[in-house]
Chains A and B, each alone.
Chain A
Amino acid sequence: MSKIVRTVANQLILFVVIFGLYVIIQGHVTPGGGFQGGAIIASGAVLLIVASGSQEIKTWLRERRLSVVESSGALLFILLAFAGIGTVFFFNFLVGSRLFGGIPSVGPNPGDVWTGGVIPLMNLGVGLKVMAGLSAVVLALALFSGGEELEE
């Protein structure tokens, strides 16, 4: 792509990633969650790939590392699900404890991030998973598919 597109994409990627992290972290207070935030960050990665070409991205971002991140996100999710198996599978065992243990008052309230028990951590795991998975698929397609390169 042209120089203008590359510069704008390099400036814009910071805001896209910060907004995606915000959607992931606030997933249990506002609409959003792991899947949506991960999709937003993956769309930022797609913007970078389209703007500067896959050969340039290849020097610092490989789909092997992305698949490692994806597997670790899935592992975090399943381990958190197994951690509550003393009561039942997928038990929210962190409610009332020190970590994310606050309980909001019933009804409309000004939300608090420090609530939700195990839900924010699971949001983080699913967010890592979706982000790395979608970026890895698009990066692999851009690297390995034939045809001429997108950049001029």
Chain B
Amino acid sequence: MRQFFGWLSLVVLMVFLVIGALFIMRPFGEPPSVMDDYIIDNAQEEAASNNVVAAVLFDYRGFDTLGEATVLFAAVTGALLVLRASHKKEET
């Protein structure tokens, strides 16, 4: 019985949190800042690129792409390291 009330209180807490998050959330299609308007208006002049997504990825938010490249590099390095090590152990 105690276990049942424990689960029930957990479920009630989760439902409360989800409904609270739904009320706090901004309406769909309205971003919380005005930065996107600036980027959409000025990307073609400043970055000289028709594709605004590419302009954001490589010009306005280049640091994020650098982080993504670092993550990919680390993933490939780790995978090759582990696989080569296991291969060598099997051979000898």
Chain-A contact segment, one of B4-12, B18-26, B30-38, B53-61: B53-61
Q: Establish whether residues B76 and A117, one from each chain, have CB atoms under 8 Å apart when the complex forms.
A: no
Q: How far is the CA of A119 from the CA of B62 in the complex (A)?
A: 10
Which residues of A, 78-129, contact B by the 8 Å Cβ criterion?
Answer: 78, 81, 89-90, 92, 95-96, 101-107, 109, 111, 115-119, 122-123, 126, 129
> Interface stretch among A6-14, A46-54, A134-142?
A134-142
Would you call the interface of chain B mostly helix, strand, loop, or mixed?
helix
Give bound CA distance, A140 to B45, whole Å. Answer: 44
Q: Given A90-B59, A104-B44, do A31 and B53 touch, yes or no (CB 8 Å)?
A: yes
Which of B53, B72, B73, B84 is close to A140, meaning CB atoms less than 8 Å apart? B84
8 Å CB contacts to A: which residues of B57-79?
Answer: 57-59, 62-63, 65-66, 68-69, 72-73, 75-76, 79
Flag if A27 contacts B45 (CB, 8 Å).
Answer: no
A141 to chain B, nearest CB (A): 7
Identify B48's interface contact among A78, A102, A143, CB under 8 A: A102
What residues on A are CB-neighbors of B49 within 8 Å?
28-29, 104, 115-117, 119
Contact, CB under 8 Å: A116 / B54: yes
Q: Taking the nearest CB of chain B, how far is it from the CB of A146, in angstroms?
A: 8
Instruction: Report yes or no: B73 in contact with A90, Cβ–Cβ below 8 A.
Output: no
Q: Are A144 and B66 in contact (CB under 8 A)?
A: no
A29 touches B50 (CB 8 A): yes
Pick 6 A–B contacts, CB within 8 A, sort by A.
A102-B48, A126-B69, A129-B69, A130-B72, A133-B72, A133-B76
By Cβ-Cβ distance, the 3 closest A-B pairs, closest first, are A90-B62, A144-B87, A133-B76
B residues whose Cβ falls under 8 Å from a Cβ of A: 44-51, 53-55, 57-59, 62-63, 65-66, 68-69, 72-73, 75-76, 79-80, 83-84, 86-87, 90
User: In the complex, given contacts A92-B47, A106-B44, A115-B49, what are 11 additional A-B residue pairs having Cβ atoms less than 8 angstroms apart?
Assistant: A28-B54, A33-B53, A77-B69, A90-B58, A92-B48, A103-B44, A118-B58, A119-B47, A119-B55, A133-B72, A146-B90
